[in-house]
Amino acid sequence: MAVAKRKSYKEKNEYIDNSKEKLEGFLADKVDSIHAMLKSENQDVPVWNSPCFKIRYLNPVSGTVYNLENSMLLSMLGKEKGFELPYYLTAKQGYDAGLSNKGEKGDFVAHHFGMQIGFVKDGEKPGAGGNDDQDNAEGKAIYRRASKLSPVFNLQQFTGELPDKIKAQMAQRAKIPTPSEVQTVLQSVINTMPTALKRHAGAEHSNYFSPAEDTIYMATSSYFKSDLHELSTLLHEVSHSYGVPSRKNRESLAKYAQSDEHRAYEELVANLSAQAVIKHLDFNITDGMREQLDDAFFKNHQTYDVGWALKGLRDKPDQVFKAAADADRTANEIIYKLENDLKAKYDLDPTLPVSDFIKQRLSRVDTDSTPQVKAPTISSNDNQVETATPIQQKKRTLKI
């Protein structure tokens, strides 16, 4: 049997560049429709509370929660085609479940993954050696972020008796977590966050990330209105902390103090990322809770009046798309570390207070529905962002 030839370093990079160009073209074609969708909504509601981000789009076979970027695409698709169900799956999954497609065409979601492009030894330039695509125990694996478009179908596009597994997924409803369940997650976030956390007895609205110190400052727990309020606030600040050059290297964080546009973008990323983690955990947040969290957010950011700029992002759907993708990259890493920490604790103590949904997640934490976000070595040319000057670093010790 013939063995497929391994792609070379050059071929892999060409594949990644071509797939990136194809994805960008696909998303560009959707911008006008996304813009119309965002403009049709209540303009006084923060963009991160748009229905496309609030609704939990799910693959009822694998249990995968579709990310923020795809939530925008699927929300738009649902409005255009009249789909009432937030469930999407592949043609093969439908066939394997005994369902029949109505003969309708599928639509695409974006799938991102890390592609290993080779190995490199210390001091060598990637691509310079002759064995970049070969196994090399002495070299360091080099990855780049690759993308592809995957076709999916709404559950309403199938006919047939739904199997019990899909019925069970559809029957699940997000529940308001108990205080002890929230505290369990909160402690795991603290255990896995990449920065130091310092508590201070200040005013309630004194929560921020200091890039210069790589430290998150938060008020003591007693200042927060609820455990969920404290968890959401911490996730927001942790999301900011991933924007530094040594992590996700976000331009919006590096230039936070320079313009309202950068501040609004960075705050949107942090809010979307925090919300994505909460949604992944299947914690129900009522409209009253959302209003409480939004009120706390704007009071905590009185130094910079970013409210008008955040609303203005509805007129920039390309920026919302980009922010959703940045938020996904951040939330995925938070979720990956969080679930592994929870699993280790749960294995030691099965009485650990966690929700039924999290118990299900922990029982299959190594399945393909778990975000694959182990920190690989990413090629430096994937994220070229100007590093802040010392003066900018000093300015950014303000609330972020």
CB contact at 8 A, 274 and 189: no
What does the pLDDT look like over 209-227, one tens digit per residue? Answer: 999 999 999 989 988 888 9
- Compute, in degrees rounded to 10, the torsion defined by CA atoms 77, 309, 274, 85: -20
Query: Of 295, 281, 303, whose CA–CA distance to 361 is shortest?
Result: 281
Question: Are residues 42 and 290 in contact, defined by beta-carbon separation less than 8 angstroms?
Answer: no
The token pair at 361 is 């997640």
Handedness of CA 218, 246, 243, 66 (dihedral sign): negative
CA distance 361 to 21: 34
Residue 375, pLDDT > 70, answer: no
Higher pLDDT, 94 or 176: 94
Beta strands 100-101 and 158-159: pairing type? antiparallel
Selected residue with higher pLDDT from 242 and 165 = 242
Select the more confidently predicted residue: 389 or 87: 87
pLDDT at position 377 over 90: no
Q: Which amino acid is at 212?
A: A
Kindly provide the b/e burial profile for residues 45-66, where b requires at least 16 CB atoms within 10 angstroms of the residue's own CB.
bbbbbbebbbeebbbbbebbbb
Is residue 106 a contact partner of residue 171, using CB atoms and an 8 Å limit?
no
pLDDT at 367 over 80: no
Owner of token pair 């439908």: 94
Look up residue 12 and give its two tokens: 């892999």
Quote the tokens at residue 225. 């209105």
pLDDT at 3 over 60: no
Cβ atoms of 211 and 251 within 8 Å: the answer is no
Percent residues over pLDDT 90 in the chain: 44
262 CB-side CA count, 13 A = 13
- Tokens found for residue 373: 């976000």
The tokens for 296 are 């706390």
Note the pLDDT tens digit of each residue in 25-70.
Answer: 998 888 888 888 888 887 777 777 888 888 899 999 988 899 999 9
Q: What is the pLDDT of residues 92-115, one digit of tens each?
A: 999 999 999 988 899 999 998 888
